[in-house]
Amino acid sequence: MKKFVEFFAGVGLVREGLSKSKWKCVWANDISPDKRDTYVENFGDSDFWLGDIWDVVKNSDTVPNNVFLYTASFPCTDLSVAGNRAGLAGKQSGTLNAFIEILRTKKNIGAAPKVVLLENVRGFLTSHKGEDVKLTVKYFSELGYYVDIIELDAINFSAQSRPRVFLIAVEETLALQTMKINKNTHLFDDWWLDFENHPTLRSQKIKDIILSSKDLNWGLLNISLPKKADKHLIDIVDIEIPNNSDLWWNEDRKNHLYEQMSKNHQLTLNEMLKHSYFSYGTVYRRMRKGKSMAELRTDGFAGCLRTPRGGSSKQILIRAGHNEWNVRLLTPREYARLQGVRDTFKLPENNNKGYFAMGDAVCVPVIEFIAESIFDELYKASLKIN
């Protein structure tokens, strides 16, 4: 059976993505009671362990042994541009160290997973000038894993631009059968030709990291580019919300948003008004030169969802056409759709909890792609070895 353990589980969107390929979650952990509640609403409470991952280190026997896959979407707070950039020394992103400790414990008793997946923001690659990700690969190398790092953007799978980094670590015996191993050869070796075959999967940043740490266990998985899905903003918007709904903003609030736009974005909105149909755009407020600006996006995609720490971090929807325009926040359900979540997935009744549930989660179809193109193949190969 294809079993996995889910660390930093959130509301379970990694589980949601893996379930399509019949992967069975046998244990999950998160520190947030609110996220646990949503997780349990959707998947039951038989395998959820609520608590700090450092407490899991002290009680590692609670984590099932000999599970094929561990996944860890560890906190991005200290790695993202929006955070404080403290890196793995930060309190939240530093919880990755606890995860490594659990792997060491399992390794010492011969019960470590064959494959590990780490997921985080692109800032992971540049945190402390790449030293944080190199240190992470060093830990995996010491534990007998070979590592590939790829970048995937949810925009290829859903109506949201959400670039993320995925580190896949494969146990040595399995890696030698399924990965192309870097033997510290020169830049013109065919290993690098394979590396550069899909530059959107493995960027120059990853290349620079490998070149500066060639003594570590680097390998390449055979991955093809995902086929781009035909998903756009119009596909996730709830067009049934009536004009008299309280969700739509009043004139004063609308005009304030308009004044926060640049002249070019105001012109774009004015052009949308002229259409004989409704079109949609999203707005995200950003600080530009000390001033709050409302940036309008009209390419059919939403910007990257974030965990809301205040009203300015929530995605705003504009509907324009027929010489009128209206504004409201995207709803939690629309957030969920941007993450590729089915409409039957139960969300918190409280809207803010719904935004939190989806704002720092993974995009489900991205995980489905990784499961089908990587994990399933590794699992099949492991059966042949055994």
Which of 107, 45, 103, 40 has the alpha carbon at shortest distance from 74? 103
Which helix (H) or strand (E) element contains residue 280? strand 279-288
Residue 200 sits at the vertex; the CA angle it makes with 175 and 114, to the nearest 5 degrees, is: 20
Residue 246 exposure: Cα atoms within 13 Å on the Cβ side: 0
Contacts of 41 (CB under 8 A, 6+ apart): 346
Burial class of residue 80, CB neighbours in 10 A (0-12, 13-18, 19+): buried
Which of 219, 291, 301, 293 has the alpha carbon at shortest distance from 262? 293
Contacts 24+ apart (CB under 8 A), 202-209: 202/149, 202/150, 202/151, 203/125, 203/151, 205/125, 205/126, 205/130, 206/125, 206/149, 206/151, 208/130, 209/125, 209/130, 209/133, 209/134, 209/137, 209/149
Specify the DSSP class assigned to residue 83.
S
Token pair recorded at residue 89:
């020394």
Rounded CA separation 138/34 (Å): 34
Rounded CA separation 373/296 (Å): 35
CB 163 within 8 A of CB 150: no
Catalytic residue among 25, 76, 304, 363: 76
Rounded CA separation 155/229 (Å): 8
CB 115 within 8 A of CB 171: yes
Report the sign of the C-alpha dihedral through residues 345, 52, 54, 67, in that order. negative
Rounded CA separation 168/378 (Å): 11
Active-site residue 304, yes or no?
Answer: no
CB 116 within 8 A of CB 169: yes
Catalytic machinery residues: 76
